Every structure is written in C-alpha cells, then in structure tokens.
Chains A and B, each alone.
Chain A
Amino acid sequence: MVTTLVASAVTRPGVAPVRVGAVVNRNMGALRSGASYWLVLISGFFEPVFYLLSIGIGVGALVGDITLVDGQVLPYATFVAPAMLATSAMNGAMAETTFNFFFKFKYAKTYDAVLSTPVRPIEIALGELVWAMMRGSVYTAVFLGVMVVMKLTTIGWALAAFPATMLVGFAFGAVGMIFTTLMRGWQDFDLMATAQFALFLFSATFAPIQNYPVVFQWIIQLTPLYHAVEMVRDLTTGHPDWGTAVHALYLVVMMAVGLYFTGRRLERMLLK
C-alpha cells in the first residue's frame, strides 16, 4: 500500500532526478543572492534552543527526574530535548513547504515560468521538499550538536537520530504541501500555526502522555508529532525497540500520502 502510493506519486508522470535537482538548484541560487533569507534561516534555529534552555533546564530543575512507562528514569532535560529536536524538524520543513511555498506559487509566480519547461508539478513538489529537508537538516544537525555538548545524548545516538529527524521533516513537509495547495489566503496560516502549536504542546513533548486522561491519550496517539517525538526520543535516549519502527512506519505513510495528494493537487491547480 505504502510502496504503491510512493511509487505512483513518484513514477506515474516519470520523475527525473535532474529536474528535481534543478528546482533545488533554483532555491540555492536564491539563498546565495539574498541576505534576508539567511536571517530567516538563523531565526529558525534559536527557537528550539530557547525552549530547551528555559523549560528543559529551567523547569527541569523543579521537576527533577522523570520515570517513563518502560521504567527508564531520565533527567527532565534529556526527556525534553528530543521533543524539541523533532518539533524543530517539523517546523523547519513546514516553514518551507507551507509559508515559502505558498508565497512562491501564489504571489511570486515562481512556478509559472517553471511549468513552461519540461519540469512537472510533482517534480516541483519533490524539489521543494528536498530543499525543505536540506534546510531542516541544518537545524537538526546543529541542535543534535548542542545536545551532545550538553550531555543529553551521545555522539553515536545523535548520528542514529539524524536520519530519523530527516524522516520527520519529509513527512511533515509533504503533508504541509497539501495544506498549501488548499490554502485560500494568509488567514488560513493562522489556523495551521495554531494546530502546529497544539501539536507542539501535547505530543509527549513536555510530559509523558500517561499524565493525560485516557481519551486524550488516544487522540494524541493519532497525531503525527507524537510519533515523531517518540521515535526521536527512543534514539537519543538509546532505547530503540519495535515501537520505534511503528512510529517510523507512521511517518513513512504520512510522507507517501502527502506526496501523492500534493502531486495531484498541483497538477490540477497549475495546469488549468
């Protein structure tokens, strides 16, 4: 099912890596020639670090250690840090595939010119997603470095967690793109920001979900950031198990669905 979706999203129109690369290349060119873009990039890095310092360290001093369902005992900062990492991967990817992507195709008309070339809508989507990942990976790599320095994980587990954060970025980036194709205007972004913030607060980020009523636990287990946080946490704390694989599978499906519908929506919207 998943492989079929991925395959049909990617191969159906005959995706050429060269053309996907050309879309990435365009964004690299834009990055090189604009100082303002660097500012946006840098600002994205500080947010999770500030959360880690204020809540992980500050609030952590009041909380002390916490015990997980499987019996692991973790210092609070060690518990919070992977959640900030996963959230940062989500936010980094989504900033590109929602806000920037929307601006490019609604206002800057960046893709109008591209569509006259052999590049297909799905190749534009893939190129933007790869670009979003490159951006998101810079954040997560630096953040993982910070975690190693603060002794919140080891170098080995940080290296293992890095590809997991990329999966998080791909999954959220792909789904973010569907939202972008459905956006009516900027006001819809407020809704999305609220949803993202709710995910950020409740997805086992600051407290294990066992602290919530059972009904809430069920709801949380359906939402994507929960799976991202749990997967990344299993790795940075050095305790991967079968559950980790289930979380990863959830995100792979999410990415496949995202790509499939984005490709279809874009074709319908752009090739009128």
Chain B
Amino acid sequence: MTDQSLIRARGLVKRFGDFTAVDGIDLDVARGEAFGFLGPNGAGKSSTMRMIGCVSTPTAGELSILGLDPVKDGTRIRSRLGVCPQLDNLDPDLTVRENLTTYARYFGISRAAAKQRALELLEFVQLADRAESKVEPLSGGMKRRLTIARAMVNEPELVLLDEPTTGLDPQARHLLWERLFRLKQQGVTLVLTTHYMDEAEQLCDRLVVMDAGKIVAEGSPRALIETYSTREVVELRFGESPLEGFRDKLVGIGERTDVLPDRVLLYADDGDAAVNEVHRRELAPSGVLVRRSTLEDVFLHLTGRTLVD
C-alpha cells in the first residue's frame, strides 16, 4: 500500500502554542480512493487538511503527499492538488469566469488554455450562463460549485474538500454530490471532511473518525457501523418526561440504550424483536420507529453527545 499511497502520515502532530490540534495520527490514502474525515468541530480535521494542502507545516511526525515532502516541495505538491476550502474564498473583484482563468494563471497555465479550461469547467458545474456575473449575487450552492470548479482548474490528481456541502440546501447538495461522484469515476482521488453522516456514506469508500486530535475509528462506512453500532436502532417515544426512568425498565433489551431528552434509542440487531419485548413489558411507547443504523449512530457513540464549538 505504501508505494501506492497518495497521502502517507505517521505520528503527524500539529500544535498551536500549547494547544494540540492534531495529536499523532497515521494515514494512508490510496490513489483513486474517496477518503473522509469525520468528527465534531475542533476535532482536528481542518488542521489535518491544511497540512495535506501544504499551507501549514507539521509540528512533528512524518507526512508525504504524492510521494513528496510538503516542507521542501510545497510548490510542486500544490501544483498537483485541488483545494476547496471550508469557507468560499472566491475573488469578489472578478467575474465567475475570471475567477477560473485568474486562478489557472497561478498554476502557470497559459492564457488560451485557461480560457478553454474555464469553459469546460463552467459547463461541468452548470454555471456557463453565469460566466460574466460577479461572484456576490450567486447563491451559496453556485459559489460552492464555482469553488469546486476552481479546484479542478489544474486537473489535479488529488482534491481536498473541507466540508463541501455545509450550509447548502438539499437540491444543491445532491447536485454537488453527483458532480463529486463523477470526478471520482474519472479517477480523481478525493479527500473530504464532513460532519454530515449521509454525505460520508454517499461519497466515501473509507473514512476515519477524529475526536480531540486523534483518530478514534477507521474503516468503510459499512464496517464502522458493524463495528461500532448494531444493525438496527429502535427509536422509542413516550408521552412523558423525563425519560431517565426508562433506562432501568429497558435493561436487557438490545445491546445498548441511549436516553435522549425526547426519545430513547435502543441499539439491537433485531429491531422488531426488541419492540416486541418492549410491548411485552407493557411500557406502552407513544411512538416506535425501527431503522437501520447509520454513521450518525457510530459518530455519536464515538464522539459523545456533548456540544462542541
């Protein structure tokens, strides 16, 4: 795997003063893979992405990108990367088309080639009709698409996407996912961070869950669910609160219970059997929902329910 690895990290650390943002992580991302970083805010995802993007120097550990050393060969690595940052940093002084052509020039792409490339990319992200518009009036989804088009301007081998669909409406997200999926089919390696579980399940072949600067789990979405959750989850609602008292009453049903303010989650491999047992104990829930486990369950199990900002 090592010689195939587009990204390889061993004991990678990033400190800001005495705050440790990334605390010794190991990574291997293979060519053509879609790899995800999952984790709450402040888990160290963006710091890791910035180190991979060669705009932040690792404090300690080994890191190699495309087989090169990011400290020595930052320029060469960046010329082969596409970066879509968390916040759109499009150039408000330029038009949609100029945002692409100007950016292409930073990669040393000729004026004529840049023009041609901009045309193709605007088609690809469905913004051809807005080519001469300024950036400001574009919707959030359009700006995101333009940022992704901009990241593709140098035909990168590796594209880094930091929370690509945060803040977008469902239509815009689905359009973006579809475009990203097409890039993946073209053989582009995608590395993304997200805290949307559905996004990780949709896009990632493999992902790591980060918490407090460390990797706490790694695997395919399916494998993570199998390892860290049960096959099914039963959501029970009762007409009363607090629900804390139900914890004891549900002991022995499923593998684990999670009492939330508005509902109780029962983790069980056979959801229907668990529901039958609840009824047999005459607990009379006012609402019952049996669903498949999702990455969200894994995520909340691993990183806790405490709000992190």
- A residues contacting B by CB (< 8 A) are 13-14, 16, 18-19, 21-23, 25-26, 29-30, 33-34, 108-110, 112-120, 270-272
Contact A117 B78, beta carbon cutoff 8 Å: yes
**Cβ contact within 8 Å between B75 and A113:** no
> Which residue of chain A lies nearest to B111 when distances are taken between CB atoms in the complex?
A25
Closest residue on chain B to residue A24 by CB atoms: B105
CA distance A272 to B91 in the complex (A): 22
Q: Does the CB pair B81–A116 fall under 8 Å?
A: yes
Q: State whether A113 and B85 are in contact (beta carbons under 8 Å apart), knowing that A14-B75, A118-B106 are contacts in the complex.
A: yes
CA distance A188 to B234 in the complex (A): 60
A253 to chain B, nearest CB (A): 29
Would you give the shortest CB distance from B148 to chain A, in whole angstroms? 13
Chain B residue at minimum C-beta to C-beta distance from A26: B102
Name the residue of chain A whose CB is nearest to the CB of B76.
A118
CA distance A254 to B78 in the complex (A): 32
Flag B40-80 by CB within 8 Å of A: 1 or 0 each. Answer: 00000000000001011100000000000000001110110
The residue from A18, A26, A33, A114 contacting B108, defined by CB atoms under 8 A apart: A18
Contact of B78 with A29 in the complex, beta carbons under 8 Å: no
Residues of A with C-beta under 8 A to B134:
33
Complex alpha-carbon distance, A13 and B89, angstroms: 25
Chain B residues with Cβ below 8 Å from A271 are 55-57
Q: B95: CB under 8 A from chain A?
A: yes
Which A residues touch B85, using CB under 8 A?
A: 112-113, 116
From A26, A118, A272, contact of B107 by CB (8 A): A118
Q: Is the CB of B56 within 8 A of A272?
A: yes
Q: How far is the CA of A23 from the CA of B55 in the complex (A)?
A: 18
Of B55, B56, B74, B94, the residue contacting A33 (CB under 8 A) is B94
**Digit string of B101-136 for contact with A (CB within 8 Å is 1, else 0)?**
011011110000000000000000000000000100
The 6 closest A-B pairs by CB, nearest first: A30-B93, A117-B106, A22-B105, A116-B83, A118-B79, A113-B89
Are B108 and A19 closer than 8 Å at their CB atoms? yes
Are A26 and B91 in touch, CB under 8 angstroms?
A: yes
Cross-interface CB contact of B16 among A18, A19, A272, cutoff 8 Å:
A272
Per-position 1/0 for B204-237, Cβ under 8 A of A: 0000000000000000000000000000000000
Our pick among A14, A16, A29 for the contact of B93 (Cβ within 8 Å) is: A29
Given contacts A115-B55, A271-B57, contact A19 B89 (CB under 8 A): no
Residues of A within 8 A of B92 (CB): 108
A-B contact pairs, 8 of them (CB 8 A): A22-B102, A30-B91, A33-B134, A109-B89, A116-B78, A117-B79, A118-B79, A118-B106
Contacting pair B105 A25 (CB below 8 A): yes
Among A18, A25, A29, A112, the residue within 8 A (CB) of B89 is A112
Q: Cβ of B98 < 8 Å from any Cβ of A?
A: yes
The answer to whether A34 and B93 touch (CB under 8 A), given A115-B55, A119-B106, is: yes
A115 to B90, CA, bound (A): 13
Q: Which residues of A contact B89 (CB under 8 A)?
A: 109-110, 112-113
Partner of A25, one of B53, B57, B102: B102
Bound CA–CA A116/B57 (angstroms)? 13
Q: Contacting A29 at CB < 8 Å: which of B56, B98, B107, B150?
A: B98
Please determine whether A118 and B108 come into contact, CB atoms closer than 8 angstroms: yes
Q: Kindly provide the distance from the CB of A251 to the nearest chain B CB, expressed in whole angstroms.
A: 30
Residue of B90, B107, B154 with most chain A CB atoms under a 10 A cut-off: B107
Q: Chain A residues with Cβ under 8 A from B102's Cβ?
A: 22, 25-26, 29
Q: How far is the CA of A119 from the CA of B74 in the complex (A)?
A: 10
- With a cutoff of 8 Å between Cβ atoms, the chain B residues found around residue A18 in the complex are 108
Distance of A109 Cα from B87 Cα, bound (Å) = 10
CA–CA, A112 and B103, complex, Å? 12
B90 is contacted by which of A21, A113, A120 (Cβ under 8 Å)?
Answer: A113
Residues of A contacting B94 in the complex (Cβ-Cβ under 8 angstroms): 26, 29-30, 33
